[in-house]
Amino acid sequence: MKCLIVFGLIVALFGAFVGYGYVVFTDLTKPLPKPEFKDDTYWGPGDVKDFVPDNKIYEFKLQVPQSEIDDLRKELNRTLRLTEPLDGIAFEYGFNTYALQQFVDYWRDNYLTKWDERQELFNSFKQYKTEIQGLNIHYIHEKVSEEAKEKKHVYPLLLLHGWPGSVREFFDFIPMLTKHSNITDYAFEVVAPSLVGYGWSDAATRPGFNAAEMATVMRNLMLRGGHKKFFIQGGDWGSIIGSNLATLYPENVIGYHSNMCVLHSPLAILKGIYGSFFPEKYLPSRFFVDHHFPVWDKWLDLLQESGYFHIQATKPDTIGAALTSSPVGLASYILEKFQTCTNPGLQQDFGAIVTVFGLEAVLDNLMVYYLTNSATTAARFYLENVSKAYRDLQLDRVQSPVPMGCARFRFDLASVTDWQLRDKFPNLTHSMYFQQGSHFAALEMPAMLFNDFTAFVGKIGLHGEKRK
């Protein structure tokens, strides 16, 4: 009799444990409703009571004083006290100091001597500034040609960069989107802003400016330009900001295309672990298994390459002080990320950056951070996005009805599968795998990104009149 009682207690406890586990699992994995979110928070200097809004749009032209270029040249001409790399080591310990010396020499003796040409390239794009929520936002605004208006369907496009990138990533991509000569039925009126705290956009003056707040500013920027509905394309932070925008303001988004398709909801994590045991069951081809699995290896790779993330997400002002005080330190820090984001076969190659991105393009991007002194304010964005206030929004668990397209480049950060992505974007319209390419797709292979983005646009089934 006692054995039956004990057995009954064990069964009851097991049942209670399973039942409790099911309740917890259900609670953690069910979709959440869209949160209420304030769309006019003031982020500028001083008290909002003293703020006088300015809705005008002003032309912007880059005009760097020669004295500033001369000062940079002097900084780069100082004797470098660099530690020699270990014997037989290329870039395994970080950016190689022999390579850094060569970059600095080229930056000083070649690149800066033709700064007028580089500045002219920046100014070849129409740029503007306007005040949004107390912040002056810089952006490129390239309209389509008159010929394209006659021949193609024209749609507004919000183009979003990340870190350590800038609008410079899009200089080859934008002309493909705006010109009538592309082979698609579409052309795009491109708005490519410098993110808040990046480039020539103001930084927030108080804590709390996370990806949801950034999405709100970007949405309000599009509304300022008269674009009530628009496409979004983004990678890195641009992908996360785009996802947040499509979640909080789906009524404004025609479609959202990402080249960094990540999702960190509890259900997505569990599916990723489960999928590691049966990868081919959830992928369109066995050739794409390496994009996602084994998940343990992907997490290890991420841990090994995310030291910068932990620094910027905990003490951004500390690393910012080091980077803004030394152009060589800034170069080493940013160049290391571009070196890593080539591909595994080139990561230890001294010519990798030149081969994949081009030296001038990478130095242009570096100059954006140097000239705007934005290393600290850009790094702070990481801390804001691991804060409790942002985590509590749980936007990865809020579904968006917006059509979504995903482009996965082989050597980018591990993305999630369609099986996971549909939990967030049930209207997943386009999914593509590429066996080449890495993190900076718009800079590395703009034509491939363009083809994928326009393929996504074509699948949405838009049949409106050509925009005049």
Catalytic residues: 236, 382, 439
Q: What is the DSSP letter of 77?
A: T
Task: Tell me the two tokens of residue 370.
Answer: 């140097």
Give the residue among 222, 288, 289, 211 at the shortest CA–CA distance from 247: 211
Contact between 398 and 34 (Cβ < 8 Å)? yes
The total of other beta-carbon atoms located within 10 Å of residue 15's CB is: 10
Give the E-state strand segments of 362-418 in sequence order: 404-409
Query: Rounded distance, CA 379 to CA 316, Å?
Result: 5
Full DSSP string of 116-171: HHHHHHHTTS-EEEEEETTEEEEEEEEPPPHHHHHHSEEEEEEEE--SS--GGGGT
What is the radius of gyration, based on Cα positions, of the chain? Answer: 24
Residue 228 CA to residue 70 CA, distance in Å, equals: 44
Quick check: helix, strand or coil at residue 449? helix
Q: Give the pairing type, strands 135-142 and 153-160.
A: unpaired
Judging by beta carbons within 10 Å of its beta carbon (0-12, 13-18, 19+), is residue 8 exposed, middle or buried? exposed
- β-pairing verdict for 404-409 and 135-142: unpaired
Residues with Cβ < 8 Å from 46, sequence gap 6 or more?
none
Enumerate the β-bridge partners of residue 317.
none
User: What is the strand order of the sheet 428-434 is part of?
Assistant: 57-60, 127-132, 135-142, 186-193, 153-160, 230-234, 253-258, 404-409, 428-434
What pairs with residue 432 in β-bridges? 407
